[in-house]
Amino acid sequence: MSDRIKVLPDEIPNIGFNLEAQEQLAVDHGIVFEHFAAIPSTIGQIDRGDLRRPDTLDTISENGFIYKKVGEFVGTIVGNNKNHNHVEGGILDTSVGRLILPKYYNKDCGGGEEIAMLPGDRVYAKAIEIKVPNYQKVEYKPKHSDFLQFPAKEVSMLQDSKGIDYIEGRHFKIDCNGNIEWIDGQKNPGIDPETGKGRLYGIRYTYIAFWYIHQLLNEVRMTNLGDSSQPARLPYHVTIQREYVYHNRNKPAPENKNTETKRTQEPPTEVLDPNKYEVKVDIRDFKD
């Protein structure tokens, strides 16, 4: 028995998580992000199941949410992929990456509080304009700004259905909401006489990229502090997704308190006289 080989030591080392090292991993190679938390908009609603808002018009929400900045933190994006899906009128970018973040907000913005995120929150890179390109088809609106898929910063090309090119600053400008505003007295795509609607035009522009929180990975992660049995919460990782929700912010109208709005389309015109025509309602009644 004396020549038995000893495989394991008498005491196994207690290998634990180093919380300071995890914070350092996220901070040392990261950049400052701004966190905008989402809250469902209830402006004008009097019942949770209401589809209409009888009290007032909600003009500040985006995609049904109101966003408020709650803090800043230093984080690192890893494993970012690129996936462009072509949809009608433009590009749908569903690129997903993993964001490694610390446990607390920066003290100068967020007060050093613990970071709390939910799917649907927005994350912006601070102190840098990450401009990315996009193109789409747009319909000219004679009396209103033309809404784009995302708020534009610069327009590089714009050409209408007749092949006429337009130049930013000469024929149109970008308004405060990132939409196309045509300059009075300058040429524009105009109205198509066949449809009575504004002509279509193609546009290529850049906008500021941001991300949505897509998923929380291991939202609750627990461990103990070294040799003690005192529990501690670890920072969670999140997956982020490039902006995939279309730019659909309601038109600014802070003074608008109307409870009714005009129809966006004319009501249908009745062209059949039930006393003059025989209306077929059964497929078996149709004649050759």
- What SS3 state is found at 75? strand
Structure tokens at 119: 């799917």
pLDDT by residue (tens digit) across 114-127?
888 899 899 988 88
Please tell me which of 88-97, 120-129, 172-181 the model is most confident about, judged by mean pLDDT.
Answer: 172-181
Evaluate whether residue 256 is within a structural domain: no
Give yes or no for a contact between 44 and 53, defined as CB atoms under 8 angstroms apart. Answer: yes
Evaluate whether residue 75 is within a structural domain: yes
Evaluate whether residue 43 is within a structural domain: yes
Using CA atoms, how far apart are residues 107 and 59, in angstroms rounded to an integer? 33
Using CA atoms, how far apart are residues 67 and 90, in angstroms rounded to an integer? 25
Looking up tokens 């005009």 gives 262
**Order of strands across the sheet with 200-208?**
131-139, 200-208, 152-160
pLDDT reported for residue 47: 64
Evaluate whether residue 177 is within a structural domain: no
Using CA atoms, how far apart are residues 44 and 256, in angstroms rounded to an integer? 12
Evaluate whether residue 66 is within a structural domain: yes
Evaluate whether residue 113 is within a structural domain: yes
Among the residue ranges 61-70, 141-150, 187-196, the one predicted with the least confidence is 61-70
Total domains in the chain come to 1
Q: pTM here?
A: 0.60
pLDDT reported for residue 54: 46
Evaluate whether residue 286 is within a structural domain: no
Give the torsion sign (CA, 211, 123, 77, 130).
positive
pLDDT reported for residue 55: 47
Using CA atoms, how far apart are residues 180 and 209, in angstroms rounded to an integer? 19
Q: Is the pLDDT of residue 139 over 90?
A: yes
Evaluate whether residue 89 is within a structural domain: yes
What percent of the chain has a predicted confidence (pLDDT) above 90? 24
Looking up tokens 């709390």 gives 116
Using CA atoms, how far apart are residues 188 and 181, in angstroms rounded to an integer? 10
State which H helix or E strand residue 22 sits in: helix 19-28
pLDDT reported for residue 264: 45
The percent of the chain in helix, strand and coil, each rounded to the nearest 5, is 5, 35, 60
Range of the domain at 109: 14-128+212-244
